[in-house]
Amino acid sequence: MKGFSKYIAGISIKNKIFIANILIIVVFISTQSYFANTISQNALIEKEINNSSRELVLIKNNLQTLVSTIEDYSKILASDYRLQNVLYNDFLLNNELNASKLVEGLNNLSMKKTLSETISNIVEPNTKIKAVSILTSNHHWVDVGFADNAYASRIFGDGYGADDRFYLPTWTGLTKFGFLYEGEHNVFAVSKTVIHKDTGKMVGRVFLYVKETTIASIYEGENKGGEFYIVDSAGQIISSQNKAMLYRNFKEAVSISIPENGEDTAFTQGSGSKEMLIFTQRFEPLKWTIVSVIPMDDISSDRKQINQLMIGIGGACLLLALIVSFLLSGSITRPIFQLAKTMREIRTGKMQVRSTYQSKDEIGYLSEGFNNLMNRIEALMAENVEKQRTKAEIEFKLLQSQVKPHFLYNTVETIISLIKLGLGKQAIQAAQYMANFYKISLSKGNDIISIGEEMRLTESYLEIQQLRYVEYMEYTMEIDDEILPYSIPKLTLQPIVENAIYHGLKLKKEKGIIRITGRRCGNNVEIEIYDNGVGMHQNQTKAIMTGFSVFDEAGGFGIRSVSNRIRMLYGERYGLQVESEYGVYTKIIIILPLLHH
């Protein structure tokens, strides 16, 4: 910093004014470019939101048309008189009243021919249906050509389930299905019960197979840079342009959470080059969700031409500013030499020096203002020193208030009780723990100690409390040795542990546990205090996190004091994270910077 100050001091006033003007122009152009860029980006995003929303609605409508068409084909096939007659004849041949054993009537060549002719009008290339299987009322899968009946039997079984009592078409989830001559494909199956029109009997069930690629063809080619997914109600990807994503959990595969309320939404996720614009459209008939994921980089590519134009205009303005600033700075030099001399003296540490230049022109006003400013700075510096001293006193008093007198009284009473009961060894241990606690808590007035010392202090406190409340508490401490030398504000853990005992475990009917763990996470230290006591309500955890709301002075003041103290020392990035479920547990995580003691 001193080297930079010397360099600035060596520049002439003319050049300083010149540089200042250039900086102002640069800042102005940069600010204007920033806001113009931001406005254009927001406009492009808004445009993309409108276009993508319309695109998703179109895809949804096309999907609805496809689904309705396939369901209509299932109804047409199930109501075809030839198919019904063949299935009904098979039903009669194998009726328990008419035959002593099953007769595979559908193996008859003439019947198989009739079924093939019926089905051929339904499947490819006439429709988007890949193949059809038929399950007869007598639990036979009909082999009429393209579908592999062994797969059908293995996937859907040979019996009838609860869905078969419904006469509407039923869609299955995405599954791998085998086809003769082609192997496996990812398909959806649409099943429909066949009811004989004259007798009203259920004589079979038809299964229509639709390939996933048929569904995907609705949206493939629509998006210029993003990805489309169709997700079922269980969160599984059932259609995607990238087939490797099929059958995977959507949230785990792409790290995006779909709103569970079923509403159509548009939101952004991620940051930088990984920021995405996400749209969802609910397809209610099948409880599917259509998801469009568009990288923000693809949307902002149109801004390149705008940015190039802005750079050209900015360069022209900067060139003009250079010329004007050079001419202007040359006309202002001599009147401020004396003020510059005064400033150089102040820069050397002579804060009492003031400018002696007096005039009624602008430089005179500047000199007077400079003197007033220095007077104000001196006053503020004195005020700041006083505030720092007051702050240190308050912190010290807050620190001392953590070592509560009633803990000393209770510990002494515990020692006396142990002596009366003839437990001299335990009484000595309690006295040693109390001595260790107060020795470390005083720590020669140091406010910052090592994590190792803080852990020994906390362990002494817990051992004393365990002697008093052995019937309802126990504890464990698992601290990585790596973090023990790092620093921590003194008496950080004790208020939290005390709160866990008195407002968590003590109110619980059975014995509970306090678990303290510590580890390094990147450039931070994380210490976690867990207890399985009565937990806290949501408003209580919120009060601790915000540090403002007072929900329970007995239970929350100490913890909020710890949080506020850490933030005051290290900044808003650090402090406490609270997680609790009422009646189950409470977990408080202390986040500290990685600083050596």
Residues 368, 497: one domain? Answer: no
Yes or no: say if 322 and 22 are a contact pair by the CB < 8 Å rule.
Answer: yes
Residue 582 inside a domain? The answer is yes
User: For residue 331, what pLDDT is reported?
Assistant: 61
Yes or no: say if 215 and 239 are a contact pair by the CB < 8 Å rule.
Answer: yes
Which residue, 175, 198, 215, sits at the end of a domain?
215
Reported as a single tens digit per residue, the pLDDT across 312-325 is: 777 787 777 777 77
Residue 279 inside a domain? The answer is no
Which residue, 194, 215, 236, sits at the end of a domain?
215
Q: Kindly state the DSSP code that residue 225 receives in the 8-state scheme.
A: S
Residues 433, 539: one domain? Answer: yes
User: For residue 236, what pLDDT is reported?
Assistant: 94
Q: What is d(CA 534, CA 420) in angstroms, rounded to the nearest whole number?
A: 34
Identify any residues that bridge with 240 across adjacent strands, giving them in sequence order: 229
Place of tokens 């010397």: 6
Q: String of b and e for 173-191 (b: at least 16 CB within 10 Å)?
A: ebbebbbeeeeebbbbbbb
Residues 366, 481: one domain? Answer: no
How many residues are there in the chain? 597
User: For residue 527, what pLDDT is reported?
Assistant: 95
User: For residue 529, what pLDDT is reported?
Assistant: 95
| Three-class DSSP category at 61 | helix
Q: Which residue segment(s) compose the domain that 376 sits in?
A: 333-398
Residue at 136: amino acid letter: T
Q: What is the CATH number of the domain that holds 193?
A: 3.30.450.20
Residue 147 inside a domain? The answer is yes
Yes or no: say if 509 and 560 are a contact pair by the CB < 8 Å rule.
Answer: no
Residues 375, 508: one domain? Answer: no
Ramachandran angles phi, psi of 273, nearest 5°? -70, -15
Residues 458, 337: one domain? Answer: no
Residues 468, 387: one domain? Answer: no
Residue 249 inside a domain? The answer is no
Residues 115, 137: one domain? Answer: yes
What DSSP string runs through 481-514? GGGTTBEEETTSHHHHHHHHIIIIITTSSS-EEE
Residues 338, 444: one domain? Answer: no
Which residue, 372, 398, 424, sits at the end of a domain?
398
Q: What is d(CA 189, CA 527) in angstroms, rounded to the nearest whole number?
A: 53
Identify each DSSP E strand in 5-163 by its residue range.
131-136, 141-142
User: For residue 543, what pLDDT is reported?
Assistant: 74
Q: At 149, list the tokens.
A: 């009946």
> With a cut of 50, which residues of the chain have pLDDT below it?
97-103, 105, 389, 392-393, 396, 399, 549-554
What DSSP string runs through 313-353? HHHHHHHHHHHHHHHHHTT--GGGHHHHHHHHHHHTT-TT-
Residue 27 inside a domain? The answer is no
Residues 448, 480: one domain? Answer: yes
Nearest to 204 by CA among 91, 121, 72: 91
> What domain count does the chain have?
3
Residue at 286: amino acid letter: L
H or E stretch at 382 = helix 362-402
Q: At 485, list the tokens.
A: 């030398």
Reported as a single tens digit per residue, the pLDDT across 234-259 is: 899 999 988 999 999 998 888 888 88
Residues 437, 579: one domain? Answer: yes
User: For residue 7, what pLDDT is reported?
Assistant: 60
User: For residue 157, what pLDDT is reported?
Assistant: 85
